[in-house]
Structure 1
């Protein structure tokens, strides 16, 4: 082991680990590593202020990590993060209420409609090609329509 590593004060190791964990949260976001990083930084501060041995520091880190994770989880459960656009990744859901033009007539309940520069399969009452239809809902990759 290098001399600089064996001579390193434990509080510097905790502070370094804490900063690295917080930085890792930026690279791999999951809102988890930041709390372990906070616990490691707090352990480093306590190790600097109080003369405690490494085994006790590990115990302090374990307790602080548990408290931080439990508190964060409880707070997020009571204060959920609400999306400003809940249909962001649901293209079909975003089309509900839109008026589309049938490219292929709806026969036996199935047809195709123009959406932007493409076509989507639609399901609804029989209608002729070129008819305007309104999207009522989306089921998977199929749009449910009605006459507009």
Structure 2
């Protein structure tokens, strides 16, 4: 029965590749981008361990390569790739269909009465209310000024 030390020694490319995958899995859960660089360094050390010239890939050489690569990549990640860490602002109208309608022209499809009627915007009919209390006729063009609930606030468009 092999002891734990016999399984882990000497260090091989498989050890480094395993470390790289474990760190990558942890990074995927955390999303900090710090472990990403260390994971890449472990992967590079696996390549170094597998393909280095005989004698230069001793355990000391592997640890030295890993330490230099990890530190260099973390510094590079914190400086050159710092924008990866910043949150991207959500688009102001993403998932807000009603706010996308503001400023668009719509056509009146039923004559307004008491400032209320229906308009067609694109391929959708909307309940609408005029902001100035006017009653546009069927076929008139209106501009969407705002929204309220599931309805549009409109004003007659100036030709």
Q: TM-score, normalised by structure 1?
A: 0.52
| CA shift in 2, pair 1:89/1:37, >3 Å | same
RMSD: 4.6
In structure 1, list runs of 5 or more residues that go unmatched: 1-5, 52-59
| CA shift in 2, pair 1:122/1:77, >3 Å | farther
| CA shift in 2, pair 1:123/1:10, >3 Å | same
Match of 2:22 among 17, 24, 28: 17
SS at match of 2:20: helix
| CA shift in 2, pair 1:80/1:33, >3 Å | closer
In structure 2, list runs of 5 or more residues that go unmatched: 1-6, 50-61
Aligned-pair CA distance for 1:145:
0.6
Q: TM-score, normalised by structure 2?
A: 0.50
Question: Which digits, 9 at most, give the CA deviation of each residue in 1:8-45, with x for residues without a partner?
Answer: 743121223356678xx6xxxx9927553333233555
Aligned-pair CA distance for 1:76:
4.4
Q: Does the CA contact (< 8 Å) of 2:128 and 2:153 recur in 1?
A: yes
- Pairs aligned (count): 123
Partner of 1:100: 106
| CA shift in 2, pair 1:90/1:37, >3 Å | same
Question: Which digits, 9 at most, give the CA deviation of each residue in 1:73-95, with x for residues without a partner?
Answer: xx449966467x75354333333
Q: Does the CA contact (< 8 Å) of 1:111 and 1:121 recur in 2?
A: yes
Question: Which digits, 9 at most, give the CA deviation of each residue in 1:51-87, with x for residues without a partner?
Answer: 8xxxxxxxx9xxx8xx79xx59xx449966467x753
Q: Does the CA contact (< 8 Å) of 2:112 and 2:137 recur in 1?
A: yes
Partner of 1:146: 155
Q: Does the CA contact (< 8 Å) of 1:120 and 1:143 recur in 2?
A: yes
Q: Does the CA contact (< 8 Å) of 1:21 and 1:34 recur in 2?
A: no
Aligned-pair CA distance for 1:142:
2.2
